Amino acid sequence: MNQAYAVVPVRDFENAKQRLSGILDRAQRASLARSLLSHVLRALEGSDEVVETIVVTSDEKESREFLNRFQKIRIVQETSIHGGVNSAVNDGLALTVQEIGDPKVLILPSDLPLLSTEAVVRALRLLDANDLVINPSLRKDGTNMLAFHYSKRIPFWYDHDSYQNHVREAVSKKLLFVETNWKEFSFDIDDNADLDEVTKKFGAKSFASFLSLL
Q: How confident is the model over 37-63, as pLDDT tens digits?
A: 999 999 999 999 999 999 999 889 889
- Distance between CA atoms of 150 and 4, rounded to whole angstroms? 10
Given its phi and psi angles, is residue 174 left (phi above 0), alpha (psi -120 to 50 degrees) or beta?
Answer: left
Query: Tens of pLDDT along 85-141?
Result: 999 999 999 988 666 678 999 999 999 999 999 999 999 999 999 999 999 999 898
CATH number of 209's domain: 3.90.550.10
What range does the domain containing 105 cover? 4-213
User: What does the alpha-carbon distance between residue 197 and residue 200 come to, in Å, rounded to a whole number?
Assistant: 5
Domain count of the chain? 1
Question: Nearest 5°: phi and psi at 161?
Answer: 45, 55
CA–CA distance, 1 with 176 (Å, rounded to integer): 18
